[in-house]
Amino acid sequence: MIRREVEHSIKEVNDTFRVLVLTGPRQVGKTTILKSIIPQNMKIVSLDNETYREEAKNNPKFFLETWGKPLFIDEAQYAPELFPYIKMIVDNDKSRGQFWLSGSQSFELMKGVSESLAGRVGIIKMNSLTYKEITNNVNNNCFNPDNIVEGKVIEPNEIFERIFKGGLPELYDVPNINLNRFFRSYIDTYIDRDVRLIRNIGDLVTFEKFMRVMAIRNGKTLVYEDIASDVGVSAHTIKAWVSVLVTSGIVYLLEPYHNKKIQRLTHMPKIIFMDSGLACYLAGWTSAKELQISKESGNFFETYVVSEIIKQYINKGIPLNICHFRNKETEEIDLLIEKNMTIYPIEIKKTSTPKKEMLKNFDYLTKNGVKVGNGGIVCLCDKLFKVDDKRYYIPLSSVIDS
């Protein structure tokens, strides 16, 4: 079994809270990781089972009394009726780790948690595999611009194979799996089981078209009106549908930088698909090589790097404050990491020969009174190279494999 970086966070939350909630997109390995570290005395019940689901919904008190505790309830979002009774149980017993709840439909699960279990629950979000998990290099490190370390060389062909395949665990558990069939089934299941629960969407065919249009725009700014025009629905509908992708963990919106000192900043977020393989399938790419030589390769490379950083921090339970910078004059910086009132600017370029002029927009921040820390260009160069006091050419491996 692939070792997961989130394991330490799960154990830490279990030792701290009476209820643990693990949520995230479908098929990222939530049930697998929990079963691999479950206490010997904890029972497991899945509400995917229709009999158990109906019992939990219709007679939640009896259901919990029958199963006892500690108890791991998988797909718990299908029976929100359980949550008030779990609250009553844990209010009468202050011991830790009484209930584990997991679910691939985070909206319903989190709605029930926020209404009934606030203050009693530790919440962990899980995503698809990171590069370090896939290559069996799991450690306690996250990319830290204050301490950029040298990494090994990752060949461009290898990284685009990773981008094209993505990080859903089943793709690495089953040899020679057919990617097209896998992702076709994934999307059908996601739309039929998750999307229907979040929002009453009548035209699921059009919703899938919307997903494909979003994937084609992976790494670009989100303009609701443009997507609405391509999909053939209103901008209001697109806003609602985008919230579905965000809520279910398929898409992350990288918000724009805001600073009262700097005028004419864009207010549009960037679209970041959290699993690059799913984005490639939806966007219609048929091979890693075709993607690598395309004009869209830079956008997919950029979003892959951003999603890897996000996943690293989420897995470790470390807060991450990130955004992108773009002003009305189209000066932009791909990623800003904010820590301790300091901005760390990062450009992400699919090149092995970075140029110093690619760093020029960093000066815009400094000139406008922003406290700027270390930064640089994350790229396909072979070695970590210090350009000047605070700026570097950063090998991709220093970010995703350090």
Kindly state the average pLDDT of the residues 85-91. Answer: 94
Tokens of 72: 């791991």
31-52 pLDDT, tens digit per residue, is 999 999 999 999 999 999 999 9
| pLDDT at residue 368 in the model | 86
Domain range 7-125, CATH architecture: 3-Layer(aba) Sandwich (3.40)
CA atoms of 62 and 328, how far apart (whole Å): 60
Range 100-126 average pLDDT:
80
Mean pLDDT, range 82-92, rounded to an integer: 93
Domain ranges in the chain?
A: 7-125, 131-400
CA angle 340, 345, 351 (to 5 degrees): 150
Residue 105's pLDDT is 63
Which pLDDT does position 103 carry in this prediction? Answer: 86
**Residue range 96-122: mean pLDDT, rounded:** 81
Interval 331-346 mean pLDDT: 95
The pLDDT of residue 358 is above 80: yes
Specify the pLDDT at position 87.
93
pLDDT above 70 (res 119):
yes
Share of the chain above pLDDT 70, in %: 98
Confidence class of residue 71 from pLDDT cuts 50, 70 and 90?
A: very high
pLDDT reported for residue 107 = 63
Q: How does residue 264 score in pLDDT terms, banded at 50, 70 and 90? A: low
Q: What is the mean pLDDT of the chain?
A: 93
pTM of this structure:
0.94
More confident: 1 or 177: 177
Q: Is pLDDT of 93 > 90?
A: yes
Q: For the segment 3-26, what is each residue's pLDDT rounded down to a tens digit? A: 999 999 999 999 999 999 999 999
What's the whole-number mean pLDDT along residues 86-96?
Answer: 94
The answer on pLDDT for 271 being more than 90 is yes
Closest by CA to 97, choosing from 33, 42, 56, is 42
